[in-house]
Amino acid sequence: MTRRRPGSGMTAALVSMVLLTAVLVAQQKPATQKTPPVSPATSPDALLGQALHEEEVEGRLQNAIAIYQKVLNASGVTRAQAGRAQFRIGACYERLGLAEARKAYEAVVANYADQVEVVAQARVRLAALGGPGGARGLVTRRVLADASGVDGVLTADGKYIRGLDWDTGDVVQFDVASGQRSRITNRGPWSETEKSEESQAFSRDGRQIAYNSFTEDWVPQLRIRNLDGSNPRTLYSDKEDSYVVPRDWSPDAGSILADRSRHHANELTLISTADGSVRVLRTLTSDVDPLQSASFSPDGRFVAFGFRRGDSASHGDIFLMTADGRNEVVVAGHPAEDVLLRWTPDGKSLVFLSDRSGTWDIWTVHIAGGKQQGEPELLKKDFGRDSEVLGFAPDGSLYYETYTRSGGLYSGAVDLETGKVLVPPAPVTTRYTSSPSRPTWSPDGSNLLYLSRPGRIGPQNNILTIRSAATGGERFLSPRLRFVSELSWAPDGRSIIALGIGETEVGIFRIDTETSGITQLAGTNHFAPHLCPDGKTLVFIKAGQIITKRNLDTGEESEVVKIAPTATGWDLSPDGREVVFQVDHAVKALSLSGGVPRELFRGLTKSTDSSPKGFWEYALKWTRDGRYIIAQAGSEIWRVPAQGGTPLKLDISVPKTASFALHPDNRRFAFNVNAGSKSELWVMENFLPAKQGKAAPPKK
Closest listed residue to residue 509, CA positions, set 501, 517, 495, 519 = 519
Spans of the chain, pLDDT less than 70: 1-41, 57-58, 128, 130-137, 193, 195-198, 240-241, 263-264, 285-290, 309-315, 455-461, 503-504, 565-568, 605-616, 689-700
Reference 84, options 111, 56, 57, 58; nearest CA is 111
Element of type H or E holding 352? strand 349-354
Kindly state the DSSP code that residue 694 receives in the 8-state scheme: S
**CA 381/CA 530 separation, integer angstroms:** 42
Q: How many residues does the chain have?
A: 700
CA angle 363, 366, 368 (to 5 degrees): 155
- What residues form DSSP beta bridges with 465? 450, 476
To the nearest 5 percent, what fractions of the chain are helix, strand and coil? 15, 40, 45
**pLDDT value of position 504:** 64
Angle at CA of residue 348, ends 344 and 352, nearest 5° = 50
Distance separating alpha carbons of residues 442 and 672, to the nearest angstrom? 17
Q: How far apart are CA 136 and CA 686, in angstroms?
A: 7
What are the strands, taking DSSP E only, across 381-517?
Answer: 388-392, 398-414, 421-428, 437-441, 447-452, 463-468, 474-476, 483-489, 495-501, 506-512
Please tell me the predicted confidence (pLDDT) of residue 135. Answer: 42
Sort strands 578-583 and 586-591 into parallel, antiparallel or unpaired: antiparallel
Q: Are 639 and 652 in contact (CB under 8 A)?
A: no
Q: Structure pTM?
A: 0.63
How many Cβ atoms are within 10 Å of 116's Cβ, its own excluded?
Answer: 10
Domains for the chain: give ranges and CATH numbers. 9-28+37-137 (1.25.40), 191-383 (2.120.10.30), 404-679 (2.120.10.30)
Q: Quick check: 65 and 52 in contact, CB under 8 A? A: no
- Contact yes or no for 495/443 (Cβ under 8 A): no
The predicted structure's pLDDT at residue 590:
94
The secondary structure element, H or E, covering residue 649 is strand 648-649
How far apart, in Å, are the Cα atoms of 482 and each of 113, 208, 356, 383, 507?
57, 36, 16, 21, 12
Angle (nearest 5°) at CA 374 between 371 and 375:
115
Outline where DSSP puts E strands in 126-254: 139-144, 153-154, 160-164, 171-175, 181-184, 200-202, 208-214, 220-226, 233-237, 242-249
How far is 474 from 451, CA to CA, in rounded Å?
A: 11
Pairing of strands 398-414, 278-284: unpaired
Give me the pLDDT at residue 675, please.
80
| Per-residue confidence (pLDDT) for residue 32, from 0 to 100 | 35
Q: What is the pLDDT of residue 107?
A: 93
Q: What was the pLDDT predicted at 128? A: 66
